[in-house]
Structure 1
Amino acid sequence: MKIAVTSQNHKTITKHAGRCRNFWVFTIENKQIVDRQLLELPKEQCFHDSPGHATHPLDNVDVLISAEMGQGLVRRLAEKDILGLVTTQTDPETAVTLYLQDALPTVAPEDHSHGHHHEH
């Protein structure tokens, strides 16, 4: 299992999952973290700027955790069998550990509109 966490600053779980370009990707085996790699994407590969149907470097993760994401991104992830979660937890490794224990505090995704349409 792989779990990605938004971390634009490489330290904490950050907001704006659609614009985030830096992710900690945790590899999980037997409900334990066995590896952690930083994935740094170019701007054109952030979710907001990339087409939803195209392949994406995070297509191989099972869960994406962020401090904020919209319902559109949650749906886009679900189409690729990725669970999108919004949490109040701020530490990436703690969030993953809590998720593995079914104890991650989550909140509803943002119901927001950008005021424009995407041509993805």
Structure 2
Amino acid sequence: MTSSLKIAVTSQNFKTVTNHAGRARRFLVYGVETGAAPVEIDRFDLPKEMCIHELGGADVPHPLDGVDVLISNSFGAGFARNMTRRGVIASLTEESDPLRAIEDYQAHGQRLPEKTCTSGHHHNHEHGH
């Protein structure tokens, strides 16, 4: 039995993985079958008002709702939570090549932004507050 995923990659130039996923309007979409190379199956070139940052809540339909995973060079914890509410796994990569970014996700799983302490003090402890 084969497993398949739909993986979107932020790509403002339709060539490389780009950052600022919340403001991204262009995405490469790949079909990924177990044991096979990813195949580009779609491209999203969305108007500004359809970027996740502008759209707001998860109750407004979005083309990314149809993907399983979204990969980008950068996004914040709020974006990751928003995508989770949409049923999409958001994952970071340091790769610039979309295919390598997908391979990285397959090998290492979801990568989220580092937690940042906003308690207004300097410290060297875990972010348990």
Indicate the TM-score class for this superposition, using the shorter chain for normalisation.
0.7 to 0.9
Distance 2:64 2:112 in 1: 22
What are structure 1's unaligned runs of at least 5 residues?
A: 114-120
Identity of aligned residues (%): 41
Residue 49 of structure 1: aligned partner = 54
Match of 1:61 among 51, 55, 67: 67
CA distance 1:108–1:31, shift in 2 (3 Å): farther
What are structure 2's unaligned runs of at least 5 residues?
A: 119-129
Match of 1:24 among 20, 24, 28: 28
> What SS does the corresponding residue of 2:90 show, helix, strand or coil?
strand
Report the CA distance between 1:88 and its aligned residue. 0.7
Residue 39 of structure 1: aligned partner = 44
Runs of 4+ in 1 over 3 A off after TM superposition: 103-107
8 Å Cα contact 1:8/1:21 also seen in 2? yes
Q: Which amino acid aligns with 1:97?
A: E
TM-score (norm 1): 0.81
Residue 121 of structure 2: aligned partner = none
Q: Which amino acid aligns with 1:71?
A: A
**What RMSD, in angstroms, separates the aligned Cα atoms of the two structures?**
2.4
Report the CA distance between 1:3 and its aligned residue. 0.3
Alignment of 1:70 onto 2:95: no
Q: RCO higher in 1 or 2 (8 Å CA, sep ≥ 6)?
A: 1
CA distance 1:55–1:31, shift in 2 (3 Å): farther
Q: Which amino acid aligns with 1:2?
A: K
Structure with the larger strand share: 1
Larger radius of gyration: 2
